Amino acid sequence: MSGVEELVEARAERLRDMPIDFFRTVKEASEHEASIYYEEIQRRRELMKAKFEEAQACLKALKWEDELDEEMRWETMNDLMDKIDQTQEILHDHDHRRIPISHRLVLEAELLAEMNRSLSLVIASCAESPRLKGDKIAHERFVQDFCERIRYTDDVYYDVHIKFLKSYLDMPW
């Protein structure tokens, strides 16, 4: 490997180690710098797609009994999965728009961070779900927590969508 290739690989490795929150702070990065960072965001998008599939498989693998509590849990978890899937719609809606890459980077990082948190919750809840059988209070808390997560995710997505539009219209945010 040449010296340049080694430097590029070392930079890519450093970016892989960066927390997603780092990418949410680079709104003022130069176009060149942002395009380098954006490669890492694209790699993380692929990782989130795999994590989404993992969460879907977890939900599918759960054994649900025909009880109202379990049906409510299943519906609530699937509602969150539907909300998470809206990430792709938001990205698709704004893909063709001329938006500074540094803005796109920040907004996509915001979406990926929320997607990661929500998917982690679904996966953890799949493991926790069998323990909730018969515990009415725990079940109610579970459904309430998921409903709050869905509302929060909806708020984040709305905010990101508005920021995409403002970037497209060259308005501050």
The pLDDT-based confidence of 21 (bands split at 50, 70, 90) is very high
Please report the pLDDT score of residue 140 as a whole number. 87
Distance of CA 54 to the CA centre of its chain: 14
| Nearest one of 112, 83, 77, 99 to 163, comparing CA atoms | 99
Return the pLDDT at 66. Answer: 62
The lowest-confidence range among 39-43, 130-134, 162-166 is 130-134
pLDDT tens profile 61-114: 887 766 677 788 888 999 999 999 999 899 999 999 999 999 999 999 999 999
Please answer whether residues 115 and 47 qualify as being in contact, where contact means their C-beta atoms are separated by less than 8 angstroms: no
**Model confidence, pTM:** 0.87
Longest dimension (CA), the chain: 63
Predicted confidence at residue 84, as pLDDT, reads 92
DSSP label at residue 66: S
Average pLDDT rounded to a whole number, residues 17-45 = 93
Q: Return mean pLDDT, the chain.
A: 90
State mean pLDDT over 137-153.
91
pLDDT band for position 127 (50/70/90)? confident
Token pair, residue 18, equals 């960066």
168: left (phi over 0), alpha (psi -120 to 50) or beta: alpha
pLDDT-based confidence at residue 42 (cuts at 50, 70, 90): very high
Residue 27: how many CB atoms within 10 A of its CB? 16
Q: CA-CA distance, 31 to 36, in Å (whole number)? A: 9
- Tokens 């905010």 map to which residue? 159
